[in-house]
Each structure stands twice: as C-alpha cells, then as structure tokens.
Amino acid sequence: MEDNIKITSKHIIILLVASIVLVFFHNLDMAWYIKDVIIPFTLLIVSYLIIFKDEPNLNKKAYLFLIPLFLILISGLIIKLDEDNMIFNIFMIPLLISILFFSLTNNNYKISLKNLFWLFKLFPKGLLKNLTYLKTKSEHKKNSHLGSIIGGIVIGTIIGLIIIFLLMNADAYFDSFISSIFNSLNIDFSSIILIIISFIILFSVLINILLNRETEVEEKEYTKLDEVMVITILTIINVIFVLFLISEISRLTNNFLKLPIEYTYASYAREGFFQLLFVTLINFVIIMYLLYKTKSIDDSSKIKKLIFILITFSIILIFNSYYRMYLYINIYGFTVLRLQVILFLTMELIIFSILIKKIFKGLKYNDALIYFIVMVSFYILNLYLCNETFINFIN
C-alpha cells in the first residue's frame, strides 16, 4: 500500500499555503475559538477537498458529512457558544473529519460498531515518520526536484531550529547575534515555527488518509456467552427495577409502603437525578453489548424478552427523569445544563425506541449509521439551543 502513495508538488504547495494562511489568521486579534478552532479545521477540510477532488473512485455520498461539519463550524460565528460546547467541538470536529475523509477515499469503510478505533489512525499518528513521503515525483516531469527541495527545507529547518535554540541557550553572545539578525530582517521567529508545525500536521494527516485508502473493514466477531448466566444477570437487574418502580409509585401516590420518609417535590426533583441518568447509560451499554457483540438474542427467546423488559424499564427511568427535571425547572427555570439534560433524555428515548425495533424487526440500514445520525443531530441541536441567548428567551 505504501508504494501506491503519490505525493505531488501540487499537494505540498496546497498544504504549505494553508499553513501560511493559518498562521496569518492566528496572528490577528480575534477570539481564540475562531482562530484556534474554526479557521484551522476549516483550512484542513478545504485543503483536503481540493487535493482529493480529482481522485478516482471517490465515495461521493461521504460529502453528506460536510453538512454537520458546516453546522458545527458556523455555530461559533452566529451564536455565542457555551464554553463547554467549545471544548466538545474540539473533539467532535476531528471525529467528523476522520469519518468524512475515510468514507470519501475508502469504499470499504463504513461507520460500524466494530471499527470505531480506526478513526484514531488519522489524528495524530506518525507526525514525523510521515515526512519521509515528502520525496515526490512530478506528474509531468520525472526529474522534478521541487518536492524533494521542499521536503529538505522542512526537515532541515526543523533540525536547524533545534540546533539554533540549543546554541542560543549555550552561548549568550551567539544568542545576541542571532536575535539581531532576526530583528534586522523583521522575521517573526514564532510564526516560522508555527508554519512548519502546521505543515507537518496537515501533511501527516494527509498521509494517514492515503495509507488507509484500501484498508478492509474487519469482520464482526461475536462473544459466546453462557445463556443461563445472561438470563440470571438480566433477571436480577430487572427485579431491581421492579422494586424501584414499586417504590416510585408508592412515593408519588399515598405511600402504601408506609415508609417514614418525608419529602417535598423540590427535594424529589433534585435528589438522585444524575444517578438515574447514569443508570440508563449502564442499561444502554448492557443492551448494546448483548445486541451487537453476542448472538444471545438470536439464540434465546428468553434473553430477547428480558432485554425488551430492560429497555422498557430504561424508558420508564427516562420519563421519571423527565418528571423530576420538569419539577426542578418549574421552580428554578432553565439553565444551559438543564436544557442539555432534556435534549440528552430525548436522544436516549429515541435510541431506546430504535433498539426495540431492532430486537423485533431489525433495522433496514446500517445500525451504527442510524445511531450516529441521531447523536450528531442532537449534538448540533445542543450547540444552537444550549446557550445563554436561547435560555433567556425561553425563561
């Protein structure tokens, strides 16, 4: 596969220009999120789209991933994002970029519950090792040395800067001499370093995309579980939820359990909310594991029924959490976090509904893609709704 990688002078020039433009914007006086997140990722996407536009056998359906990427990137320009959402975007954007370019260049690739860790072959693997691919062959002139010259400049400059840095720290006179040279030439030393680092990252990611251009998706392997053990575990979990449900009904009606516990609706709304949320996540992990890592449902109708009961209890927990949050918001109003919780509960409700359909009828399309679309859609809703402007409006 490595022998099939062809880096042309055009590729190098595009990435070099992108690096220079990135540093130019970085030196402007603007918000950190715009110059350190929006602009770098936008330049990365645009650069690679230009590079790959003439590639044969592109999976053009992958361009659909540009829609969520575009919506996430412009969100910081049209609304005042919550600080937490800015941080989340730093992780979400590279993930979507990985999926976009893997899907675009590799017809074997698909979003699945098996190969998620493949995404991390894109960032930030082989930063320096990938520089060996800078020896290019021109498409028109076999003896062209432009790529080799640029590669030599990049690698030589990196080594040279390290040596200069060490010598400047070792000798004060040499430090003064080099500083006077840079000052007289009006060269921004930090900008040069940033351009080089930006180019190395952009080039390395490009190589990682090309290295995985023909990678095959691994075959799904199932774990064999003991049927009796699975039935026992699910039965215990479901019995616990039955007890919890009886407790909730008693507390919210006439306390037929005759427990000496007094409470107000305000305390009921506040207590244990996030623990309940975590319980639904535990249920989700258990159900997904049994559905997609084992054949337990296909092999046992009892397990199938017990999982359905567990999903039903999970949905009841979600409505219980809805009710608690409703009481809480009714007293104290909306905040960014409370609205995020409402969106998360709604997303969970939709996913559990999809799981019910999966158990009894199966899903028509790629399961992982369906879950991915749901989660990304709610993530974008979170960006546009969970901010102080919208919170003030609905309050």
> For 296-328, how does the pLDDT look when each residue is reduced to its tens digit (9 = 90+)?
888 888 999 999 999 999 898 888 888 878 877
% of the chain exceeding 70 in pLDDT:
83
% of the chain exceeding 90 in pLDDT:
23
Q: Which of 137, 162, 163 is nearest to 151 (CA)?
A: 137
In the predicted model, what is the mean pLDDT of residues 146-171?
74
What is the structure's pLDDT at 172? Answer: 84
Comparing 324 with 34, the larger pLDDT belongs to 34
Kindly tell me if the per-residue pLDDT of 123 is higher than 90.
no
Q: Which of 212, 276, 206, 213 is nearest to 248 (CA)?
A: 276
Instruction: Please report which confidence band the pLDDT of residue 385 belongs to, taking 50, 70 and 90 as the band edges.
Output: very high
Half-sphere exposure at residue 386, Cβ-oriented, CA atoms within 13 angstroms:
21
Comparing 75 with 125, the larger pLDDT belongs to 75
Q: Which of 101, 87, 86 is nearest to 202 (CA)?
A: 101
What is the structure's pLDDT at 307? Answer: 92
Kindly tell me if the per-residue pLDDT of 221 is higher than 80.
no
Instruction: Please report which confidence band the pLDDT of residue 154 belongs to, taking 50, 70 and 90 as the band edges.
Output: low
Q: Is the dihedral of CA 149, 155, 161, 167 positive or negative?
A: negative
| Residue 272, C-beta contacts closer than 8 angstroms, at least 6 positions apart | none
What is the structure's pLDDT at 261? Answer: 62
What is the structure's pLDDT at 355? Answer: 92
Tell me the three-class secondary structure of 26-67, residue by residue.
Answer: HCCCCCHHHHHHHHHHHHHHHHHHHHHCCCCCCCHHHHHHHH
Comparing 140 with 165, the larger pLDDT belongs to 165
What is the structure's pLDDT at 176? Answer: 85
Kindly tell me if the per-residue pLDDT of 168 is higher than 60.
yes
Instruction: Please report which confidence band the pLDDT of residue 13 belongs to, taking 50, 70 and 90 as the band edges.
Output: confident
What is the structure's pLDDT at 354? Answer: 92
Kindly tell me if the per-residue pLDDT of 104 is higher than 80.
yes
In the predicted model, what is the mean pLDDT of residues 79-93?
89
Tell me the three-class secondary structure of the chain, residue by residue.
Answer: CHHHCCCCHHHHHHHHHHHHHHHHHHCCCCCHHHHHHHHHHHHHHHHHHHHHCCCCCCCHHHHHHHHHHHHHHHHHHHCCCCHHHHHHHHHHHHHHHHHHHHHHHCCCCCCCCCCHHHHHHCCCCCCCHHHHHHCCCCCCCCCCCHHHHHHHHHHHHHHHHHHHHHHHHHCHHHHHHHHHHHHHHCCCHHHHHHHHHHHHHHHHHHHHHHHCCCCCCCCCCCCCCCHHHHHHHHHHHHHHHHHHHHHHHHHHCCCCCCCCCCCCHHHHHHCCHHHHHHHHHHHHHHHHHHHHCCCHHHHCHHHHHHHHHHHHHHHHHHHHHHHHHHHHHHHHCCCHHHHHHHHHHHHHHHHHHHHHHHHHCCCCCCHHHHHHHHHHHHHHHHHHHCCHHHHHHHC
Instruction: Return the residue matching tokens 């053990």.
Output: 229
What is the structure's pLDDT at 346? Answer: 93
- Least confident stretch, 136-145, 175-184, 202-211: 136-145
Kindly tell me if the per-residue pLDDT of 376 is higher than 90.
yes
Q: Is the dihedral of CA 257, 258, 263, 264 positive or negative?
A: positive
Kindly tell me if the per-residue pLDDT of 138 is higher than 50.
no
Instruction: Please report which confidence band the pLDDT of residue 65 belongs to, taking 50, 70 and 90 as the band edges.
Output: very high
Kindly tell me if the per-residue pLDDT of 222 is higher than 70.
yes
- Least confident stretch, 31-45, 125-139, 198-212, 279-293: 125-139
Tokens read off for 104: 């675009």
Considering the chain, what is the average pLDDT of its residues?
81
Half-sphere exposure at residue 31, Cβ-oriented, CA atoms within 13 angstroms:
10
Kindly tell me if the per-residue pLDDT of 68 is higher than 90.
yes
Instruction: Please report which confidence band the pLDDT of residue 2 belongs to, taking 50, 70 and 90 as the band edges.
Output: low
Distance CA 291, CA 6 (A): 42
| Residue 279, C-beta contacts closer than 8 angstroms, at least 6 positions apart | 317
In the predicted model, what is the mean pLDDT of residues 286-298?
86
What is the structure's pLDDT at 140? Answer: 43
pLDDT digit string (tens) for 232-248?
A: 999 999 999 888 888 87
Kindly tell me if the per-residue pLDDT of 118 is higher than 80.
no
What distances in angstroms separate CA 47 from CA 13, 38, 91, 379, one per listed residue? Answer: 10, 14, 20, 26
What is the structure's pLDDT at 141? Answer: 46
